[in-house]
């Protein structure tokens, strides 16, 4: 089944079948599938024939897909590798045009007990202070933490600043008695582990 046919199924409610197919083709002529997953209702309603109800349906479908991608049926999500960090955070980060610096607070068995957004930056900059990172860890009584952030450019290669903040957090963690297990950079369908890269 093609993308336009799938979209037509979403749009078909209250619309003649032929019109739903035409409408779906009109939408996909303006946005490719990745772009469509990131648009909001207001942008969709600029397309002739898309009313608020249909725009909300499309947005909701993509949001459900994002949540399903990172869904784990176990009571607590366990982190065993940088791939687990990527799998948990990528769905929410992949369309972001800003840098999100996120902390995963873990118990002694590396189950996530809290996920906290520490800061939101601009397209290519983020301000992170160790006190904010370790405040969240202490409040949740974390045994370890993993930090992660996205690169909106899609390239997860670490910058000099990324390496510096990692070293600063690791040193602070030693003083606080809360180990930084990794710093994972999320790119477009790929990631970089500071630990695997030798920076931790």
**What does the DSSP assignment read for 140-199?**
TT-SEEEEEEE-TTS--PPPHHHHHHHHHHHHHHHHHT-EEEEEEEE-SS-EEETTTTT-
Residue pair 26/43 in contact (Cβ under 8 Å)? The answer is no
- Whole-angstrom distance, CA of residue 87 vs CA of residue 92: 10
Span 70-104, pLDDT tens digits:
555 555 789 999 999 999 999 888 878 889 999 99
pLDDT at 14 over 60: no
Tens-place pLDDT, residues 161-193: 999 999 999 999 999 999 999 999 999 999 999
Q: pLDDT at residue 17 above 60?
A: no
Contact residues for 117 (Cβ-Cβ < 8 A; gap 6+):
100, 101, 102, 103
pLDDT at 18 over 60: no
> What topology does CATH give the domain 3-69?
DNA polymerase; domain 1 (1.10.150)
Give residue 72's pLDDT. 57
Confirm if 79 and 110 have CB atoms less than 8 A apart.
Answer: yes
Query: β-pairing, 112-120 with 179-186?
Result: unpaired
Taking 70 as the threshold, does the pLDDT of residue 124 lie above it? no
Span 35-76, pLDDT tens digits: 777 788 888 777 877 778 777 878 877 777 777 665 555 557
Q: What is the mean pLDDT of residues 122-136?
A: 78
Residues 6+ positions from 56 with CB-CB distance below 8 Å: 41
pLDDT at 145 over 80: yes
In this prediction, residues 16-34 reach a mean pLDDT of 72
HSE at residue 139, side-chain half, CA atoms within 13 A, is: 11
Q: What is the pTM of this model?
A: 0.65
> What are the residue ranges spanned by the domains of the chain?
3-69, 82-193
Q: Which of 2-6, 27-31, 61-65, 162-166 reaches the highest mean pLDDT? A: 162-166
CATH of 82-193 given 3.40.50.1970, 3.40.140.10, 3.90.1300.10, 1.20.1050.10: 3.40.140.10
């Amino acid at each position: 089944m093609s993308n336009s046919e799938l979209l037509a199924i979403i749009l078909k409610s209250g619309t003649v079948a032929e019109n739903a197919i035409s409408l779906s083709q009109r939408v996909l002529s303006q946005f490719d599938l990745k772009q469509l997953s990131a648009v909001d209702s207001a942008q969709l309603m600029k397309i002739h024939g898309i009313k608020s109800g249909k725009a909300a349906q499309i947005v909701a479908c993509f949001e459900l897909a994002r949540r399903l991608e990172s869904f784990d049926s176990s009571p607590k999500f366990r982190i065993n590798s940088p791939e687990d960090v990527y799998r948990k955070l990528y769905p929410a980060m992949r369309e972001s045009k800003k840098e999100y610096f996120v902390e995963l607070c873990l118990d002694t068995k590396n189950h996530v007990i809290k996920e906290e957004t520490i800061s939101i930056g601009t397209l290519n900059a983020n301000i992170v202070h160790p006190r904010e990172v370790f405040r969240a860890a202490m409040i949740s009584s974390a045994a370890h933490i993993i930090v992660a952030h996205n690169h909106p450019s899609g390239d997860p290669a670490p910058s000099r600043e990324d390496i510096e903040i990692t070293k600063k957090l690791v040193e602070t963690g030693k003083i606080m008695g809360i180990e930084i297990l990794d710093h994972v950079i999320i790119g477009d369908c790929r990631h970089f582990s500071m630990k695997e890269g030798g920076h931790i």
